[in-house]
Structure 1
């Protein structure tokens, strides 16, 4: 994913762990907002704030990388382009391209704004009726088409719960057997001043331009941009495939709040019910939940209502049905860090929880000085003020994620950390002292850049369980094969990093093969026999190598940087 102030998930975690926020004024290259500015809330057709969470490069794209004509890419909604890039990155990083690509993979995309079509409409008076457009269906279908995925493919719009609802629907699709693997996520961009003006007309935005979730000075949210996605599989298959498992989805549920005192007024009973339903489907005791990522928009009315709903479910002092014998329950909201990402809010909150599980820590609530006096935390709920450990205990760590849409479209997901049943055994099969790492790119220049990116990543600290076997296997079966190719035969990771650094500098030494694949070479090389050196020579010349045949008991997937894009 990409989020305000965070072009990747490592940067996102640093932002969350610091307790800081990435809210800024509208970037100068977006739109001219000052002519519409009026500091008095309620002024018609004016905005009283221009603060939000923004990502870089929403107007940048590499059409040639995806085989799209440049003139066509200009017409495609930037949300569609961003989601496509993110899904590619997701599948490439998890080793699901190359020989493992395609198949019955579903795509479920949360999206709720068609602003690019509004921009395109400004050319209608000049007779340009087929220019820039926004088609929600195409956000998902473009991914399925270009990556050759045959599972269900559709966009989901349930307002601010869109991306979490998309994840729920993806899980249900997997359970029904409609697909074997699913990509779920969401995207949101702000490219027209009408976005701010419409929200200001509803007095939803903070006049201070700061999202103070749960704070006494909470006076509205700030809008935000972002894009994110996760790859979902049945747990048994993920284990068998050697995937890097970030968490287990134990259960999920959606409902609607029904009629309340106002269309935008949430229903705490319905919120409590959707959480209870998700816990029931998960077979999880509320007492075992250690963290809840709240919807938490930072409004004086919405925050107390949401906390009241949480108490109904989790706090023994809140109601007769509350869980008993439970420890503290930390509550937070990513919106205080990056703003309200609307269609991408759910995937942003989910990603925060995944990162907390990954790092064994709970991030602090940003912009929290004094708790809203209308919020009753009860005996169990607490709001963390600083980064603190989330220690492993005898039972797996568990968390809930809430996402509530305007008009009452509610979603909740229950997550659990993944704990292997047994320590992973060393795979049987070939015990070669040396391994062959392969890399390919669209041009010699990009191949050099690609090699340098991977070398830099391998020179740092690798995740536990990632070694030369894992890297070599993933490079062979989990990445797409482009025209310019290189293969490196080496004995350990430091040697691989050194060789790739040489390639980045244009140098090629012993044990390294380079070549350009001819477009007409379809001969299949048998990888189950022959030496690595022979397969390296044939592979870089363009023969299609059945790499999987070399790995009767494949190791786990290894993550390393993907092919550079010239956006």
Structure 2
């Protein structure tokens, strides 16, 4: 007994010493990052979103808190998945067949074309992503309490909403979206032109299924018109542009939007991410690089993770300088303190994750924000559900947070991809909206499908904890 007691005492002492060391490291970290910080202090004053299983922001948040899995089999109106589904597509026919027939798909979203001055006939020539971006941008502006249009707000009136009464300087309002070109409509135009070039005249039965080019077609498929159409229909005079940084697109847009405000080029920016790339071609493309999950779920940070599940969605935030938002009496949902990024340099490959590059981005972000990782209570991670990617990300987070003295289990970590799939160009915005609502509600949201965490996770020493269900965020 004495021996056992003697064995335990040093362990308790060592544990106490380790805790004191961590607290000392955290204190030094806090002081160091605040000394050289240059926070952006950009306020999120309005938000709107549509994602799988959620036709609006409130439903999206309710689904997150309720732990709803919005991933389903491919709807029949998208494509006949059974014609292209093969469980062994990883082994053979990669790029011709798909090992997955599951994804996160948007429900029907009401769109009043006439309210936005768009002739209904033109809709057949415009990519869905452009129309959804316009609708969600208008919703976000209403959420911020501002007029959607000069004059009558027909879109709001048509849905029984009171018109927002506040005016603002539209000439100093910019629009930045994260997105990429090409989707089902542009592919159909390409098939029509390519068939004629390579084979000859289209068979009548094929021609009747393919759209014909008209005056709306060219702008209707351009990625830059996503932002341009919003600026045009909502009558904004600031800059408008679209950025493509693959899965980081909506965060690249956020970075650009914050810089617009910080530089004084605009007083308000509508910043969004849009991705409606969830058709047959997208499934086959991801299958060709062996990225799709045969089990049909993004098992973020789980040891059984086997790939990504494709999702789609649109989200928009309305941004202003914090000082301006407070002066104007805006409701501030959250504050963006910093945005930072990095490249991996000469890594193993174009898509291979590299821990050193991720550490660099995080250190830059927290340094600019003036916030030590030891103070952070929630991390909304990328965590696509690939074993190597999740392991690298978790190892990166652990390295950075531990170095700054974060206590074991002090920070929640998770990913919304476990509920809606990987929404690609809109993924960052989906996570931003989720984290913003979690902060405002005081709730640590759950992450689904974590049964046995990734091998990079050590529960005894890791600064992180996985929440399987929603819990209070004290």
Q: TM-score, normalised by structure 2?
A: 0.78
Partner in structure 2 of residue 75 of structure 1: 125
- Which of 349, 352, 356 is matched with 2:434 structurally? 352
1:147-176 deviation per Cα after TM superposition (whole angstroms, max 9, x unaligned): 111111100100001001101110011000
Does residue 172 of the first structure (1) align with residue 259 of the second (2)? Answer: yes
Deviation of 1:57 after TM superposition, in Å, equals 2.2
Distance 1:222 1:325, change over 3 A: closer
- Which of 336, 343, 346 is matched with 2:418 structurally? 336
Q: What is the aligned-residue RMSD (CA, Å)?
A: 1.8
- Which deviates the most, 218-227 or 67-76? 67-76
Secondary structure in structure 2 of the residue aligned to 1:231: strand
Does residue 100 of the first structure (1) align with residue 136 of the second (2)? Answer: no
The whole-number CA distance in structure 2 between the counterparts of 1:202 and 1:337 is: 23
The whole-number CA distance in structure 2 between the counterparts of 1:270 and 1:374 is: 18
User: Which structure shows the higher helix fraction?
Assistant: 2
Does residue 122 of the first structure (1) align with residue 191 of the second (2)? Answer: yes
Partner in structure 1 of residue 399 of structure 2: 312
Partner in structure 1 of residue 102 of structure 2: 51
Show the 5 A alignment for 1:103-182: 103-115=171-183, 116-124=185-193, 125=196, 128-130=212-214, 132=217, 133-182=220-269
Secondary structure in structure 1 of the residue aligned to 2:253: helix
Does residue 285 of the first structure (1) align with residue 372 of the second (2)? Answer: yes
Deviation of 1:14 after TM superposition, in Å, equals 1.7
Distance 1:191 1:224, change over 3 A: closer
1:77-97 deviation per Cα after TM superposition (whole angstroms, max 9, x unaligned): 110100000001111222221
The whole-number CA distance in structure 2 between the counterparts of 1:84 and 1:14 is: 24
The whole-number CA distance in structure 2 between the counterparts of 1:18 and 1:73 is: 35
Partner in structure 1 of residue 116 of structure 2: 66
Deviation of 1:325 after TM superposition, in Å, equals 6.3
Distance 1:374 1:275, change over 3 A: closer
Q: Return 5+ residue gaps in structure 2 as ranges.
A: 1-48, 151-165, 197-201
Deviation of 1:315 after TM superposition, in Å, equals 1.4
Q: Is the 8 A contact 1:304 1:376 kept in 2?
A: no
The whole-number CA distance in structure 2 between the counterparts of 1:286 and 1:211 is: 26
* Structure having greater relative contact order (Cα 8 Å, sep ≥ 6): 2
Secondary structure in structure 2 of the residue aligned to 1:256: coil
Residue correspondences, number: 385
Q: Return 5+ residue gaps in structure 1 as ranges.
A: 317-321, 392-567
Q: Is the 8 A contact 2:176 2:269 kept in 1?
A: yes
Secondary structure in structure 2 of the residue aligned to 1:252: coil
Partner in structure 1 of residue 465 of structure 2: 382
Q: Is the 8 A contact 2:268 2:319 kept in 1?
A: yes
Secondary structure in structure 1 of the residue aligned to 2:340: strand
Show the 5 A alignment for 1:107-506: 107-115=175-183, 116-124=185-193, 125=196, 128-130=212-214, 132=217, 133-316=220-403, 322-323=404-405, 328-376=410-458, 378-391=461-474
1:104-136 deviation per Cα after TM superposition (whole angstroms, max 9, x unaligned): 111110112411211222333459444745201
1:247-291 deviation per Cα after TM superposition (whole angstroms, max 9, x unaligned): 011111122122222222111111111111011111112211111
The whole-number CA distance in structure 1 between the counterparts of 2:186 and 2:402 is: 46
Secondary structure in structure 2 of the residue aligned to 1:24: strand
Deviation of 1:323 after TM superposition, in Å, equals 3.1
The whole-number CA distance in structure 2 between the counterparts of 1:14 and 1:153 is: 32
Q: Is the 8 A contact 2:398 2:462 kept in 1?
A: no
The whole-number CA distance in structure 2 between the counterparts of 1:190 and 1:160 is: 12
